[in-house]
Amino acid sequence: MADDTTANSLITRFKFQKLLNTTQQGCRIILQGTISDKPALLLAERGAFSTDNAYLQSFSRLMSHVKNLGENDIYRWCLANSMSENTVDEPTPADLKINLIYPCTEKHIRKYSFQQARVVLETPSIYSTYIRPYMQLCREEGRLNWVFNILDGKAEQENVLFRSKEAKADDDFLLLPDLNWDRKTLSSLHLLALVQRRDIWSVRDLKKSHVPWLRHLRSTLAATTTTLYPGGEVETDMLKFYIHYQPTYYHFHIHIVHVNTEASGTQAVGKALGLDHVISQLENLAGGAEAGMHQVELSYTLGENSELWQQVFAPLKEGKTPAVAGE
């Protein structure tokens, strides 16, 4: 007689009653149910990907039911299935969120490769002498073309969730889903607000004079987000607003995430600055309207493969003059 207490036997007899929670951005679920009329909890999470070379060689061919979510320039993102029992008529829910960068650059390869992190302290002097010129070079190289394509209505318009109509055109913004959100799990909601104005490259450009605009923007973003997702799962006090420094691209944007979204590396100290904290810091800076974030020290993390570490902070650590500098 088969042992009714083995894991395989017990799990197959589990009768689902209720979803208690989802964590790790939907990769872990906790189910309440019964086994032989006794209460039971089933906690399941997706296992780690195999790093076996044979598996990786065939990985892209194992995916099926690839559903395109959007594309812009060299970036494409989609959902896919890895379950072998999928059928054409009734596929199981997509279990893979895929981002494709093609053709990618050497910078992309460096960014996504494992690299030792370093904590750096960017002083106002380092910012003005080295970092600001670096930002300028990035913008001149056309790295923001995909952002401007969205703002100008030339690409990815099917992904724009909201485009504002403010009294001043420079105050306008648009909302779109972050590439890493599956667009359906509200507890892991992650939106991006791209501002229309192009004079603010990063948090460093924010000044005291921008405080009224920032407060209005935050209030409008909160109201707009809750309107987009009615039903009580997204309320204003369930939203977090933060800014990256260093950001991935030098055009001012704000991240909006559900408070239940587990804080990943992109929300960690050394990467994210809370919008409310930045506004308060601006208000309390000494000086007039032109006082701003360009005057403060900012500490953050960089990977050793990043251009900023290799071109600026590694040379400074070694007592050398960085290659990136202003005129």
Q: Which residues are catalytic?
A: 253
Rounded CA gap, 281 and 293, in Å?
Answer: 8
Look-up: residue for tokens 């791209």? 194
* Strand (E) or helix (H) holding 274: strand 272-274
Rounded CA gap, 162 and 173, in Å?
Answer: 8
Rounded CA gap, 248 and 146, in Å?
Answer: 13
Question: Of 7, 17, 19, 20, which is closest to residue 38 (Cα–Cα)?
Answer: 17
Question: Of 155, 145, 173, which is closest to residue 76 (Cα–Cα)?
Answer: 155
Q: What is the CA radius of gyration of the chain?
A: 23
Q: How far apart are the first and last CA of the chain?
A: 83
Q: Is the peptide bond before 103 cis (omega within 30 degrees of 0)?
A: yes
Q: Give CA separation, 156 vs 78, 86, 150, 326, in Å.
A: 14, 30, 6, 35
